[in-house]
Chain A
């Protein structure tokens, strides 16, 4: 099993550009999460999904959209990137009480 994978690993965007981050898991987990990690701060939940076709807002959802069209994939979209969205983004999936994290995507918005 590949576990949780994220695409891309690195990306540089200009302000106003859009992009989609892909998270894929092959463990048949129902729950999936998108987090951002900023220096000196803990991980913060952006959006999450409790199953295919469902999404919900987390702690810091503004400026992001998500979709869960297939159970194995959870997409995070930035419609108009801003420098404040420069961060490392982690995806995770969960079964029961244990979360499995992806390797992260480092995004820089200039």
Chain B
């Protein structure tokens, strides 16, 4: 079993829909990261969480440390949100990554 599990693997939505991507992990962590990988391959950091909730524009990330679970929400989804979203957990210098969720938002 992978240490970081994401669901769903693939997600197709219509523009404007509310999106939720889930991440569960089985190891101790110092922080959890959400990353976005563009169709061209570039990876950018979206959030770093150690507790609670963070919001940036239409993106919201939450983490429940006790349940070892995090969610990434996208409100009012747009075709430009189409990308692979990656959950990663960090313990000091060791990073473990989920396999990613491929999101496609159709106009």
A109 within 8 A of B: no
Classify the secondary structure of A's interface with B: strand
Do A88 and B41 have beta carbons less than 8 Å apart? yes
* Shortest CB distance B9–A (Å): 9
Do B48 and A97 have beta carbons less than 8 Å apart? yes
Q: Size range of the interface on A? A: 20 to 34
Do B94 and A45 have beta carbons less than 8 Å apart? yes
B86 within 8 A of A: yes
A101 touching B48 in the complex, CB below 8 Å, given contacts A42-B2, A42-B96, A43-B86? no
Assembled-state Cα–Cα distance A42/B88 (Å): 9
Identify which of B45, B93, B97 contacts A44 (C-beta below 8 A).
Answer: B97
Residue ID in chain A nearest B99 by CB atoms = A42
Do B93 and A48 have beta carbons less than 8 Å apart? yes
A42 touching B41 in the complex, CB below 8 Å, given contacts A97-B48, A98-B48? no
Residue ID in chain B nearest A100 by CB atoms = B45
A88, A92, A97 — most chain B CB neighbours (10 Å): A97
* Shortest CB distance B76–A (Å): 26
Which residues of the other chain, B, contact A92 by a CB distance below 8 angstroms?
Answer: 43
Do B44 and A101 have beta carbons less than 8 Å apart? yes
B4, B33, B41, B44 — most chain A CB neighbours (10 Å): B41
Assembled-state Cα–Cα distance A39/B44 (Å): 19
Supply 5 A–B pairs (Cβ within 8 Å), ascending by A. Answer: A42-B2, A42-B4, A42-B98, A45-B94, A45-B95
